[in-house]
Amino acid sequence: MQILLLTILLFGYPFFADDTLSHTPDRLDEVFNIGTVQSLIIQKNGKVMDERYRGRIHGDLPVNIKSASKSVLSLLIGLAIDHGYLEGTHQTLGEFFPEYFENNPDPVKESITIKDLLTMRSGLETTSFRNYGRWVMSNNWVQFALNQPLADTPGEAMMYSTGTSHLLSVIITKASGMSTLEFGNRYLFRPMGIRIGGWDRDPQGYYMGGNNMAMSPRDLIKIGELMMNVGTYDGRQLISRNWILESVQVYTKSNFNPYDYGYMWWRKQVEDYEVFFAWGNGGQYIIILPELEAVISITSTLSTSNSRRYQREIFQFLGDVMIPIIKNHPG
């Protein structure tokens, strides 16, 4: 897989042209029958081969990508290491939250590493699902997350938790002296021409690590292209290749679905192809198919959607419809 990713070098991100749609089978419109899907972009060999929308959304309109934000946050952690703000994934919570552990000493919690956070193996009780409401309604998200009891040994089983990923955003701010948004703008978003349309903050002002970031469908394609090109965008190496390759390795398996997990990037097999993807609740996706040199973005409205109800349909549609179309497209 590493050799494959290292040898995939695509062209820069193109402007969309209307005639890219004219030779694409209309069956792609069936994607809008899944959940509340509102946009679909397919890029192959660095060129947009199809771009479709339903409703008021358009390609440059930022939308809430929910937990697909976690995959973007993973890139920011890699950049913080690349630029020397962080030493590496071995660093521990004790290094970044000494004031908390001075009042709440716990050698096990203090030893939790950045890698444990990236792979959702902190061992801390989840702040998602049944605990999400209490966490976001608390007056201190960091303290709430660190106060969670140890439900497992750090570095062992995966326990999906947005409070865990939020700690990574706080670590970026503490290490860099910049807000996570300012850091991202400097090293990732502005160099790629990406505009963040909105991003929630916690009561202390830290940007929410791993949720409620707004990006446009076309900007999601750019993130996918960066991954496809192993950290290169528009001819410039923005993030180290090693970080991208580390990010898509399998470290654990989800505790609530059949997917494998890397550094906040998911992966699974679809037909005969290995698929890497960012995924947000409600149906927000960046899907990367390295063997086909293809990137797909999908966004959905959030008002009445629940992605876990139809995520299986998305990947069924990917295998039955999108992959055959991508394979047969001249590119």
CATH number at residue 29: 3.40.710.10
**Is the same domain home to 232 and 206?**
no
What's residue 216's pLDDT? Answer: 98
Mean pLDDT of all residues in 101-109: 98
Other CB atoms within 10 A of residue 120 CB: 26
What's residue 7's pLDDT? Answer: 36
Which is nearest to 101 in space by CA: 92, 112, 110, 111?
110
**Is the same domain home to 159 and 72?**
yes
**Is the same domain home to 326 and 293?**
yes
Would you state the structure tokens that stand for residue 118, as one six-digit string? 């990236």
Would you state the structure tokens that stand for residue 136, as one six-digit string? 């976001």
Supply the mean pLDDT for the chain: 91
Q: Are 302 and 286 in contact (CB under 8 A)?
A: no
Beta-bridged to residue 237, according to DSSP, are 232
Backbone φ and ψ for 240, nearest 5 degrees, come out as -65, 145
What's residue 2's pLDDT? Answer: 39
- pLDDT score of 3 more than 50: no
**Is the same domain home to 55 and 80?**
no
**Is the same domain home to 106 and 180?**
yes
**Is the same domain home to 156 and 251?**
no
What's residue 130's pLDDT? Answer: 87
Q: Could you give the C-alpha distances from 85 to 78, 169, 171, 183, 188, in angstroms and in order?
A: 10, 13, 10, 11, 15
Q: Could you tell me where the DSSP H helices lie in 54-140?
A: 69-82, 93-96, 98-103, 107-110, 114-118, 132-137
Dihedral, CA of residue 184, residue 138, residue 264 and residue 71, to nearest 10: -30
**Is the same domain home to 1 and 26?**
yes
What's residue 257's pLDDT? Answer: 82
Among the three residues 191, 215, 239, which one is the final residue of a domain in this structure?
215
**DSSP SS3 for 266:** strand
What's residue 6's pLDDT? Answer: 36
What's residue 256's pLDDT? Answer: 77
- pLDDT score of 293 more than 90: yes
What's residue 309's pLDDT? Answer: 66
Q: Could you give the C-alpha distances from 41 to 15, 116, 221, 318, in angstroms and in order?
A: 12, 33, 8, 13
Can you tell me the distance from the alpha carbon of 197 to that of 194, in angstroms, rounded to the nearest whole number? 9
Q: What is the CA radius of gyration of the chain?
A: 19
**Is the same domain home to 93 and 191?**
yes
**Is the same domain home to 232 and 313?**
yes
What's residue 4's pLDDT? Answer: 40
Q: Could you give the C-alpha distances from 213 to 177, 180, 234, 310, in angstroms and in order?
A: 21, 12, 24, 22
**Is the same domain home to 46 and 122?**
no
What's residue 14's pLDDT? Answer: 33
DSSP calls for 15-64: PP-GGGGTTS-GGGGGGGGSTTEEEEEEEETTEEEEEEE-TT--TT--EE
Mean pLDDT of all residues in 48-64: 96
Decide: residue 123, CB within 10 A, 0-12 exposed, 13-18 middle, 19+ buried. Answer: buried
Dihedral, CA of residue 187, residue 89, residue 278 and residue 172, to nearest 10: -40
- Rounded to 10°, the helix 69-82/162-176 angle is 30
Q: Band of the pLDDT at 308, cuts 50, 70, 90?
A: low
What's residue 239's pLDDT? Answer: 98
Which is nearest to 200 in space by CA: 55, 40, 35, 73?
73
Among the three residues 159, 193, 215, which one is the final residue of a domain in this structure?
215
SS (HEC) of 181-217:
HHHHHHHHHHHHCCCCCEECECCCCCECCCCCEEECH
What's residue 304's pLDDT? Answer: 58
Mean pLDDT of all residues in 90-110: 98
**Is the same domain home to 328 and 241?**
yes
What's residue 154's pLDDT? Answer: 97
Can you tell me the distance from the alpha carbon of 228 to that of 233, in angstroms, rounded to the nearest whole number? 9
The number of domains in the chain is 2
- pLDDT score of 19 more than 60: no
Q: In the chain, pLDDT over 70 holds for what percent of residues? A: 90
Least confident of 11-15, 43-47, 111-115, 248-252: 11-15
- pLDDT score of 247 more than 90: yes
Choice between 17 and 116, residue whose per-residue pLDDT is larger? 116
**Is the same domain home to 330 and 277?**
yes
Q: What is the pTM of this model?
A: 0.91
Q: Band of the pLDDT at 161, cuts 50, 70, 90?
A: very high
Using one digit for the tens of pLDDT, what is the confidence trace for 217-231? 999 999 999 999 999
**Structural domain that includes position 318:** 1-61+217-331
Q: Band of the pLDDT at 311, cuts 50, 70, 90?
A: confident
Which is nearest to 314 in space by CA: 267, 270, 259, 252?
270
Among the three residues 170, 191, 215, which one is the final residue of a domain in this structure?
215
